[in-house]
Amino acid sequence: MDRLIGALDGALRTLFATPRATRPCPVVPADDTHLGAQERAHAGALMRVNHVGEVCAQALYTAQAMTASDPVTRARLEQAAREETDHLAWTRSRLEELGARPSLLNPLWYAGAFGLGLVAGRFGDPVSQGFVVETERQVEAHLESHLERLPAGDHASRAIVAQMKDDERAHAEAAQRAGGIELPPPVRAAMRAAAKVMTTTAHYI
């Protein structure tokens, strides 16, 4: 019951509260950001997708922590969720600076990711950690693509995305060291397909 209440509290905080980062937002002090209207709209759409990814990360880690059988694994997942809160706060703040809004479908994204996290956790800690590894690898690749697509002059967004990319790599490596197994190719492909639907939709809605 305590875990269920904690999960509900986490969902409400993620979806409706203003997230608080524990680390300063990455910046490039020497480079001011000057964007035209089109560049601002494009950057806002990309950062909305990244914000959705962080909403999903909160859901995944919360669900997997709930179902973890090993207290050490549970603590590691809860710590990762806290670290991902920085990303949630940074992307939300950047959306506001760009004059863009979060995805209107965030409750749906959260619910879907939470369900996936529960399923992964039910297969045991090695599979759950393997799910973290694959998720973070795919997120890292996605963020790399955004570094290529963001306006060259959007130094603020690029600094945030670059730091997020480094953090996601670290989370994947930690999950692998913790015993995460490699998921079967069909599962990895299904995860990529689901992520494609989410990112394409969140770009606009």
Q: What is the pLDDT of residues 80-132, one digit of tens each?
A: 888 889 999 999 999 999 999 999 999 999 999 899 888 888 888 888 889 88
Structural domain contains residue 14: no
Structural domain contains residue 21: no
Instruction: State the Cα–Cα distance between residues 9 and 2, nearest whole angstrom.
Output: 11
Asked if 198 and 109 touch (Cβ cutoff 8 Å), the reply is yes
Structural domain contains residue 26: no
Q: How far is CA 170 from CA 2, 33, 108, 167, 177, in A?
A: 29, 28, 27, 5, 11
Q: What is the pLDDT of residues 151-195, one digit of tens each?
A: 988 989 999 999 999 999 998 998 888 888 889 899 889 988 988
Residue linked to tokens 């002090």: 29
Predicted structure pTM score: 0.87
- Is the Cα dihedral 13, 8, 118, 45 positive or negative? negative
Structural domain contains residue 112: yes
Instruction: State the Cα–Cα distance between residues 74 and 147, nearest whole angstrom.
Output: 32
Structural domain contains residue 15: no
Structural domain contains residue 150: yes
SS3 call for 127:
helix
Those residues with Cβ within 8 angstroms of residue 90's Cβ, 6 or more apart along the chain or in another chain: 21, 25, 26, 160, 163, 164
Structural domain contains residue 154: yes
CATH of the domain at 39: 1.20.1260.10
Structural domain contains residue 42: yes
SS3 call for 56:
helix
**Per-residue confidence band for 78, with pLDDT thresholds at 50, 70 and 90:** confident
- Is the Cα dihedral 166, 168, 174, 177 positive or negative? negative
pLDDT score at 89? 93
With DSSP H G I counted as helix, E B as strand and the rest as coil, what are the percentages for the chain, rounded to 5? 80, 0, 20
The total number of structural domains in the chain stands at 1
pLDDT score at 68? 82
Average pLDDT over residues 138-150: 93
Q: How far is CA 178 from the centre of its chain?
A: 20
SS3 call for 135:
helix
Q: What range does the domain containing 114 cover? A: 35-204
Asked if 7 and 113 touch (Cβ cutoff 8 Å), the reply is no
